[in-house]
Structure 1
Amino acid sequence: MELQTTALMRARHMLESQGRFPGGALPGEISDSWLRSLSSGLDPLARAERLVLGDTDFRTAQDRHADLIRFARPELELLFDQIAGSNFMIALGSPEGVVLETLSDTQFAETDAGRTVVPGSVWTEELRGTNALGLCLTTRRPAQVYGGEHFLRAHSDVSCISAPIFDGRGALAGVLDASSRSTVRQQHTAALVQMSASNIENCLIRSAHDQRIVLQFHPRPEYLGTLSVGMLVLEEDFTIHAINRKGEVFLAGISRLHGASFDAIFERRFEDVALRLMQGETLRLRDRMGSAVSVRCIANRASFALAMRMAPRAAPESPRGLPAADEDRNLFRDVVIEDEALVRTLRRLPEAARQGTPVFIRGETGTGKEIVARLAHAASARGGPFVAVDARMLPPGDAEAAFFGRPSEAGSGLLAQAAKGTLFVDEVTRLPLSVQAALARVLDVGEYRHPGDGSLRKGAPFLVTTSTETLAAALQDGRLLPGLRFRIEGFAVDLPPLRDRSDFDALARRFSHSARAGLGIEPEALARLRLHDWPGNLHELRLVIAQAAASAAGSAITAAEVDPLLPEVATKAEDACGQCAGVPWKESQCRTIRDAVGRLGGVAQAARSLGMSRTTVYKHLTAAAPGLAH
């Protein structure tokens, strides 16, 4: 390490004094990037400029990459909690090098680097010189740039790690980046960043190809459904339309995958195995290189349509009590639903969706409302896309334009985008009353006028809405119009909180398997998990198991790995600090932090135990019980 540091210092001195540097002094990719930076005319001693897009251009970039942002958000939050150090941040970049989203530790946000890496800032090599995000965009490979390896001295106090996100067609869809003030090589963080990027990539591919057959495959059947799965997207003629990076690795040696026919890759025709795949079977196939892989079909609109064409008659009754038709059994196959009460509720969902009955889903945060919404969309068999909007995220005064379009944009508006598909409105009671009234009319008459030219637009989407509260409560408080309530509550689904679900163990095992293929959970660890109240529901369970999996040394998560992640003693909700009170999952986190401080005897000890920065711990103490911080 000392020799590498000395070589880097000498290379920097020559770069800054002579505009050149010795070959072989730096890792190959860093050396090549420095040469490109010099070719771009950059000065290694130049000040770091903000280089931030204007509001209009940034909003355009966000709109262009809305799906990337939507699927990346939960991964950003999970990655942020998994790294759980101090002086660091997570950023999502576009294929053009624009930072779209950030999550930053308080300490990092207050540094020069934290004030430079902000949403809207541009981080291409041409503008910023050598940096991990720009290097990743250029090479299309994971990149790590530590301290002085940055071309600009102004960035030499930061280390950054980036991983590319691809779209399955060979093009970059985005970049995931983790930056910190540490100059120590962070291979564990690099692995987490690449895992998160792969998960975002798989979600993007699955979402973008709802009208095509999507297959998962892996040499080992138990790895299906994990991050390491290969994915194939088929055209209508069963040629390969898209493939993820894992799939390319598994099929290495087979040339020209895109556009190749299914039987040019596997030793069976797709027509010969399609019906069994559509019915939810996992098949063992051999590729043209002689390797055997397990293959299954993802439940989506295309698979339902193909199943109905190939086997229109109903199949025998489903063993789990869910709908008996092949397409409906396929619908629920990729999710864990073994709670009998929930099974009874969802049994009628596919038929309601096919009839176009509006679906309303109520449940606490993290209970899986969007998952059920996507199941309803898939069952509806409509030809258009799944268009999602969170009513809480609509800009003030811009909600009507978001739904009906802007005067200057003829094809804009959520209603236009979802006209032949599904419009998913999360937290529907947060919509402005004016938008509620207009939406109720659209659902009534199936048409609306565009605000630009006044033209009449036909068509109403299949509507799925959600709320964490009952519609009756919102109606009583005057936040929901009666006219909208009775148009959206056609088929109501009330999702139980995780603490009330009888399939808790099955869910926990699914999350552990997703965190690491083949990873189990010991019975004692499951018993400890069941004792927790889970205010964050599925989101919280997934996070806790991911954290436990990261520290698990064996083939199963043990109680010793679970215990530090759960509060030992429940305390009163009013003990939560002011900024957390009223939000169940925040209250739980706040109580856990305060309990750890009292139990371990100090802020530093609690921070180490919880994997948090001391700043984060202090934040929860000073607002509620200042005396504990001393």
Structure 2
Amino acid sequence: MDMNVLSEPVGHNIGAAWNQFIRSGKIAAGIVSPLVAKSWEKCANRNMDPTEGRGQIELGRNELKELLDKNERTIRIANPFMKNLYKMFSNTGFIIVLADIKGYILESFGDKERLKNAQYLNFVLGANWSEASVGTNAIGLALATGKPAQVSGWEHFSQPHHCWTCSAAPIFNKQGEMVAVLDISGPVHEKNSHTLGMVAAASEAISMQLKMQQKQNEMILVNKHMESIFNAMSDGVILIDKCGIIKDVNTITKQILNRNEQSMIGCSIDTIFKEISPVTKEMLHYKKSYSGIKLSLPGSKGTNHCLASGEIVADDQGGVSGGVLILRPIQQGKSSINCYSAHNADFSFHDIIGNSSSMREVIGVAILAAESSSNILLQGESGTGKELFAQAIHNKSARCKGPFIAVNCGAIPRELIGSELFGYEEGAFTGAKRGGRPGKFELATGGTLFLDEIGDMPLEQQVSLLRVLQDKKINRIGSDRIITTDVRIICATNKNLLKEVRMGSFRQDLYYRLNVISVTIPPLRERGEDIILLLTSFLQHLSKGHKCEFDLEPEVLHCLKKYSWPGNVRELHNVAERIIHLVKGKIVSLVHLPADVYHCCEALTELPAQRSSFKEQRRRENEKTEREEIVTLLHECNGNISHIAKRMGVARTTVYRKMQLYAIQY
């Protein structure tokens, strides 16, 4: 802050100079400082009465309260500094005053007697002491110039102020704007040039404190904004330190894991995410980011499948201060937009299980198709393994070292499928990412693009796809730049596309462009001899390689072969998973099969004796399960029958009857 004294007179006959100005309006050159002289002239031009000088009381009670509330932060920060100044000047007759940028007094400290004497000049809370209100004074000069000022005795325009000496300095905020003035006023005979230095130093300290407070408030606001963004993200975000200790998690992370933050913050990444712990530690040690790691995490509604990625956070010296882990849920069904499986295909023809003649024939056709460069159309019911064939074809083709990008055309909203396939430039539409984004055609360059559920693609996008297939070129949305594509197309559908063509929901020209080589995968009901082979493989895989051997009773074998399997291989896999969980020993009987399977099975009508035996076995199993449930609930509910009945969804009398039936005592 500029510490020049703005009003120090250059002569000693200031009293005579004041009288001369009041009588004639002439300034005594060399006696009155230019700043004071200018202020006197402004006061005279306003026709101010030099015999007055009382502060203007303009504010009502409500207006004063509003003024004090508006300046609350400045008053609060200045208060301790004003108290310290008052201690230095106690019993000297000085008053310490804080005024706002219009000259209204906001706060004052001083000896009681001196404060009382100052009332005759209205030097009190809420009074206006600007130059326009009371004439030349230190508060008015500091407000007018933005610099420290000292006005003593006869330098004041108003005669009642001649017994006072005043020193004032402005207070500034972080933006450099003046927000208040600090003033020290006292008897003129106590005038000291050091007083101005003290008030200037105090105002500077208040300004610094005010700026720090503003900065702190801004940081709090920024942190709140960041926290809002942090918790509004659709991906799970985990912040870790350089040792791999979790420091913070966002709302989505808590939802994905079904855990509260207290159970995660402070824990090592080892205890929460064992699958990515090694690669995360490698990231922190070698500063190597990672992405695309698949995780299966237990949640409140079953298993959550996510793609994990990690980035380091560097410190000022370029070292590692921590990292950020991102968990991106892999959405299932129609809500998914980015429905690609990976940039690499995991399966080959060796992974396709089947010895039936129909399956051997299809595999042979698919192998021949893989060796060509033509587009392929895979047809078959849902659950027959069309994507498995697509990956196997890719891995058998000359493009096996390129990416394999899968897109579920039926799962992408109509308005987004264009940007997903062809990409977009920055600013192409509201919500477009900075820098734009490549589409799946670009990502699949040099490899294979698998378009699943092609029959669900909207007609308007079928036109765009046809043009790309013909020209081998694309334009990102929002761009005129032409990008050449080098992509092999494999499509899949569970619809009869020729029927869709006749109905007008699928373009005929696109159908023939895609259907260069057609591979029709047979449903499981036409692959009778493959059913047990597939089931055995699934059981082996689901038992995690522990060579669990199951014995299937004859009626089970008969039932499995006779069932129509509308869900195909996917449904059979579910049956295998059910067997793993329900069978305690090695014997698999009809009771372990889903109701859909055994109810529709001819075995139940062909084997009446077994049916009776099965029903009895089923009844015993149900009774055993029900008894175990009641015993468990008795312990969990501390014997409260009302709670047990509510949990079971039955009446209390039913619970008592069941306890008597199963000889349960509690």
TM-score normalised according to structure 2 size = 0.42
TM-score normalised according to structure 1 size = 0.44
User: Of the two structures, which has the highest relative contact order with CA contacts closer than 8 Å and spacing of 6 or more?
Assistant: 1
